[in-house]
Amino acid sequence: MSEFYTGDVGIHGDSNRMWLRADLHRLYEAHSFAIVPKREIFDPGEPQPHSPQTYVVHFLGASVGEFWDGYHKVPAQHIEGTRPQLHLARFAWIILICVKGFLLKGYPRTVARVLAEDGEQKTETLAGSDLTELYGGGDRLYASPWSLRKKRKADDEEEGVL
């Protein structure tokens, strides 16, 4: 991550804002696409390993119809003033939302978890009901377990933080 971190602080600066057309803004807010770094040439031909990094629009589902054909894996334009962290954080958020949806389909899944108590990594197959209990709280925008969010909120209220 140090490759992308410039040492700046604050999230409300102009470098964390993008101007988008209204239709693309709706898709962006619906988590239909992200802007991700790629180290490839996007002209016809073979990718070159030492090409400069560029950012491309990456749609995360084919349900966006006409936009997929016109914008998927196309270099993003006019984002020179935005921070890479903005795009990477947004991409990570979308991935977590997608993973949550995948886990909550009701099917048993083999998951790898790191236990908070001792940092041990544990791989196990969990039933759909167990996954729902662990990760199903809140609405679709939250990827953390509901019980942890309730605990954090209670801790904040106890400390007088709203």
The model's pLDDT over 61-74, given as tens digits with 9 standing for 90+, comes to 767 778 887 888 88
Query: What does the mean pLDDT of the chain come to?
Result: 77
Q: What is the pLDDT of residue 108?
A: 96
Mean pLDDT of 108-122: 90
pTM, two decimal places:
0.60
Q: For the chain, what's the residue count?
A: 162
Provide the residue ranges of all domains of the chain, joining segments of one domain with +.
Answer: 14-84, 109-158
* CA–CA dist 84, 5 (Å, integer): 8
DSSP E strand stretches across 16-160 = 33-38, 54-59, 74-75, 109-114, 121-126
Token pair, residue 6, equals 């410039």
